[in-house]
Amino acid sequence: MQSAEEDLLSILKDAGVDFLATLPCDRVKNLIALSDSMFQRLPLTREEEGVGICAGAALGGRRPAMIIQNSGFGNMVNALLSLTQFYELPLALFISHRGIYKEGIAAQVPMGRAMEGLLKGAGIDYDEVNTREDFHSIREALPRIFNEGRIHAFLLSPALWEGSSATFAAAPASCVCHVAPSCPQSSPAASTLTRYGVIRALKPLLRNQVVICNLGVPAKELHELLPQPSNFYMLGSMGMVTPIGLGVALTTRKRVFVIDGDGSLLMNPGTLATVSLAAPENLTLLAIDNASYGSTGNQPTCTRTCVDLELLARGLGFAHTAKVSTPEDILAACTEQPKGPLFVHIPAMPGNSGASNIPTDRLETKRRFQTFLSANS
């Protein structure tokens, strides 16, 4: 018997879908990986750009669909309404509906609960897809989407994939990743550390310091290696860790460290320009670049092929940057805070430790962090 993932992809194929844009959620990692054998797929840096790309593809006569997490829907609403809906362009949205079924990450719950109200408010038709029996609604809706130029969302419950036999190919072979020969390839500096190894190497530097940490596995790994009240762990809001760090740095004289990731930085790179403009003298950005969306299954990001984060930071105004990958070099690069924001690019290997969820209540984390800041500013 075909897996749920294969069934769903066959329905898309039969309806003539011929362009896929994706940004992973852990729950649909198999669906995305399997799609590569059937579709032209473009991995995205931010869900919002996918709306523009799919609008362009539809203008060019394609039948586009997106596979994303519901948190990403929050990043897309303006473009969906003022572009796709306004011009009556077709778009099939396959949305991994987190926060409603056996959810382990509390920060997923607010968006999960709000989804139906948001879709209704935006005038976007949608169907809940909880079991394979619900696939008939997809079969019925797809022709309408493409014949009438409509947006339609399918809210895919994580229950759908339970017990699925689909196998997960970690590094998709045939997605659309054209790399220009002149591309400034990230020089990987022969990294042997995973993100966990990098955070372990950073421990002596980060002890008793203000640390704002990226969402997903990085936050769990920091909590396991160095639990302390001066850590603020993000649990959602991908792309916001550097903005949070900037906001904190502008309110304290203490040194502020941000642990960011390549996927998250590329989701919101403009924030580097804002950091350069604000030029806080106490902010150090530690960009741990495992060239993957590590927390959702190590899908490659653009740093694996064609983007150099250090060059990006320089281009967006950072005067002080470094690229380091051994424990000694990482510590040496961070020891002194220069007279301005510091960007430390740390190439790393993909891979996650088995660190468990952070047990501390979110409001308690906030209270401890604020207490530390006000006592030490």
Ligand X SMILES: Cc1ncc(C[n+]2csc(CCOP(=O)(O)OP(=O)(O)O)c2C)c(N)n1
Among 25, 67, 80, 92, binds ligand X (CB under 6 A): 25
- Residue number, 64 or 112, with CB nearest to ligand X: 112
Q: Distance between CA 209 and CA 204 in Å, rounded?
A: 10
Sign (positive or negative) of CA dihedral 104, 109, 111, 112: positive
Taking the complex as a whole, the smallest distance from the CB of residue 362 to ligand X amounts, in Å, to 15
- Amino acid at the residue 102: K
Among 71, 191, 271, 321, binds ligand X (CB under 6 A): 71
- Amino acid at the residue 100: I
Binding part of the chain for ligand X, among 17-25, 83-91, 120-128, 160-168 by CB under 6 A, reads: 17-25
Among 3, 22, 231, 264, binds ligand X (CB under 6 A): 264
Taking the complex as a whole, the smallest distance from the CB of residue 73 to ligand X amounts, in Å, to 8
Taking the complex as a whole, the smallest distance from the CB of residue 336 to ligand X amounts, in Å, to 26
Task: Give the pairing type, strands 342-347 and 283-289.
Answer: parallel
Sequence-separated contacts (24+) of 173-180 with Cβ below 8 Å: 173/36, 174/36, 174/37, 174/41, 175/36, 175/41, 175/42, 175/43, 176/40, 176/41, 176/42, 176/43, 177/43, 177/300, 177/305, 179/305, 179/306, 180/306
Q: Does 259 bind ligand X (CB under 6 A)?
A: no
Taking the complex as a whole, the smallest distance from the CB of residue 240 to ligand X amounts, in Å, to 9
Contacts of 27 (CB under 8 A, 6+ apart): 69, 96, 98, 156, 158, 161
Binding part of the chain for ligand X, among 21-29, 30-38, 53-61, 124-132 by CB under 6 A, reads: 21-29
Taking the complex as a whole, the smallest distance from the CB of residue 153 to ligand X amounts, in Å, to 15
Q: Does 290 bind ligand X (CB under 6 A)?
A: yes
The answer to whether 68 and 94 have CB atoms below 8 angstroms apart is: yes
- Residue number, 63 or 297, with CB nearest to ligand X: 297
Q: Does 75 bind ligand X (CB under 6 A)?
A: yes
- Residue number, 63 or 195, with CB nearest to ligand X: 195
Q: Distance between CA 123 and CA 92 in Å, rounded?
A: 14
* Ramachandran area for residue 297 (φ above 0: left; ψ -120 to 50: alpha; else beta): left
Alpha helices in 80-239 (DSSP H): 109-122, 135-148, 195-206, 217-225
Q: Does 50 bind ligand X (CB under 6 A)?
A: no
- Residue number, 280 or 350, with CB nearest to ligand X: 350
Among 4, 9, 17, 24, binds ligand X (CB under 6 A): 24
Taking residues 292 to 321 in sequence order and writing x for each that binds ligand X by CB under 6 A, - otherwise, the string is: xxxxx----x--------------------
Q: Tell me the site size for ligand X, rule CB under 6 A.
A: 26
- Amino acid at the residue 23: L
Q: Concatenate the DSSP letters of all residues of 24-61 into one string.
A: --GGGHHHHHHHTTTS-EEE-SSHHHHHHHHHHHHHTT
Q: Does 69 bind ligand X (CB under 6 A)?
A: yes
Q: Does 263 bind ligand X (CB under 6 A)?
A: yes
Binding part of the chain for ligand X, among 31-39, 136-144, 162-170, 286-294 by CB under 6 A, reads: 286-294
Taking the complex as a whole, the smallest distance from the CB of residue 319 to ligand X amounts, in Å, to 24
Taking the complex as a whole, the smallest distance from the CB of residue 180 to ligand X amounts, in Å, to 22
Count the Cβ atoms, other than its own, within 10 Å of residue 132: 13
Sign (positive or negative) of CA dihedral 10, 12, 14, 19: negative
Taking the complex as a whole, the smallest distance from the CB of residue 144 to ligand X amounts, in Å, to 27
Q: Does 145 bind ligand X (CB under 6 A)?
A: no
The answer to whether 35 and 67 have CB atoms below 8 angstroms apart is: yes
The answer to whether 346 and 325 have CB atoms below 8 angstroms apart is: yes
Return the residues of window 153-212 that contact ligand X according to CB under 6 A.
Answer: 195
Taking residues 205 to 244 in sequence order and writing x for each that binds ligand X by CB under 6 A, - otherwise, the string is: ---------xxxxx-----------------x-x------
Would you tell me which residues interact with ligand X (CB under 6 A)?
Answer: 23-25, 69, 71-72, 75, 195, 214-218, 236, 238, 261-264, 290, 292-296, 301
